[in-house]
Structure 1
């Protein structure tokens, strides 16, 4: 099979930390171009933005968008209209209407659109999903707390409208829960804590219910220093299931079952190659729907100003 010729748009922290190594480790895909305002990469064609890239004549088959969600719609639309398959970093966009519009455009063009959720690709997620389908669930609780200064140093976009604030990491938890739950759930309460000087929340307390009345709770916070917490705890009639370390480790009834290295992005690029090869798309936007609901139902709580 001829490798997919890929261009990355946005050569920032996430692209360098995760995407470049994953692409290099994945069969069937080659990085041939980069579009970035402030960075370049040796041995590939480099351009200032996606429009310059698409007008250059450099032959590419697909685009991986690693830019902030604000403005990503225009980039994805340009790529699809130029006949390129598109892979979207999470969150897939800044609004629901724009991501559904991209889904429609990709379908009309016969192109693959991949809305990625890297935490779903963690090692313990699918085993936990299978186990939960066999047990009688009682409750689900999420604790997702990290240090924004460590993971997003001096990144202003995350605090602007469309940047999602604490939901930038919190949507990772929601992507796992929407995958492993055997039934759908909906939001019933949302409390959002905003720094006095920011447009996006720094913490969130959420309560959901499934259609059968099962409680699902989530506590998200961007102010935790020291060890970081990315845990999902499921209480069942038969015992306890815990996903830790962002879904890479599984503890069942107190016994460690899976302790896996980080290979999320390698799994994503493997899946992208498969989607393009088959002519399919993967556009599950349900985690973003829950975030949108959190803002719609959110009771605003103001806290002290945040400074980097």
Structure 2
């Protein structure tokens, strides 16, 4: 089969660091165009809007949308309306309602819509899921702490309403949690810390239970310097499971479990190609629902101002 003609929209840090290398290494795709207000990709046509790109290049089969979530709905709707397949960087949108609308539109058009959760494709996640399905879970503790100045330097959109703040990385932990737990969890309480000069939280402390009343706690913080922490631990009848380094390492009672060397974004693009080939979509909103619940139930705590440079 001929490669899928793919365009990328939003040529920022995540596109350059992850999407472009993954596309280049996947023979199922041919990168043919880019649309971005500020940057292009060498060697292919560049447009400042997705509308101009779609009009000028009707041969495009699919688009990857890598712009901030506040702007993703209009771009996705334009692409699906033009009968293109759409890859949504996480989170898939700024609200649940707009993503549901996109899924409905994609179904009506016969387009594949992929709400990607890259952390679910980390090397040890499937092994952790299999383990938890075989034991009785007693409690779960997530610690997801990193340095926003390192990962999102001078990116003001993440601090604006709809930018999610610390839930931008925290939703990665929730995407793993909702994938590996055998049953659904429900948020019971939350504390969200908002810098007094920002519209999005810098830290969150979330408490969940499931139908069996298992205690699940998630701690997110964007102020951690030095070594970064992306860990999920579960006390179980089969020992303590530790899913570490963002889902790339797994141990049971301290003993390392062998996992694959799978890389997240190349796996995402293999999944996208498979969805297109099968005429299917993959739009799981569970992680975003948990974030929405946190904003609904969360106690708002105002903390000291945050500036990009300390």
TM-score by length of 2: 0.98
- Give the 5 Å matches for 1:232-271: 232-258=232-258, 261=261, 263-271=263-271
Q: Please list every run of 5 or more consecutive structure 2 residues that lacks an aligned counterpart in the other structure.
A: none
Q: Partner of 1:70: helix, strand, or coil?
A: helix
Aligned residues: 308
Q: 2: CA distance between counterparts of 1:261 and 1:245? A: 13
Which residue in the other structure is 1:298 paired with? Answer: 298
Task: Give per-residue Cα distances to partners, 1:228-282, cap 9 Å, x unaligned.
Answer: 0000001101201111110011111211113665610000000000000000000
Give the corresponding residue for 1:35: 35
CA RMSD, aligned part only?
0.9
Query: How far apart, CA to CA, are the structure 1 residues paired with 2:259 and 2:186?
Result: 31
Alignment partners' CA distance in 2, 1:66 and 1:260: 27
Which residue pairs with 1:71 in the alignment?
71
In 2: Cα distance, 1:260 partner to 1:119 partner: 14
Following the alignment from structure 1 to structure 2, what is the Cα–Cα distance between the partners of residues 262 and 39?
29
2:13 — aligned with what?
A: 13
Runs of 4 or more consecutive aligned structure 1 residues displaced over 4 Å after TM superposition: 259-262
Measure the CA separation in 1 of the matches of 2:271 and 2:262.
16
Mapped partners of 1:239, 1:112: distance in 2: 40
CA pair 258-83 structure 1, distance change in 2 beyond 3 A: same
How far the C-alpha of 1:27 sits from its partner, in A, is 2.4
> In the TM superposition, what are the counterparts of 1:129-168 in structure 2 within 5 Å?
129-168=129-168
Is the Cα contact below 8 Å between 1:249 and 1:260 reproduced in 2? no
Aligned to 1:274: 274
Q: Which residue of 2 aligns with 1:118?
A: 118
Task: Judge conservation of contact 2:127–2:259 (CA < 8 Å) in 1.
Answer: no
Deviation (angstroms), 1:25: 1.3
Unaligned runs of at least 5 residues, structure 1: none
Instruction: Identify the residue that residue 94 of structure 1 maps to in structure 2.
Output: 94
Q: Distance in 2 between matches of 1:2 and 1:251?
A: 42
8 Å CA contact 1:123–1:258 kept in 2: the answer is no
Contact 1:248 1:258 in 2 (8 A): no
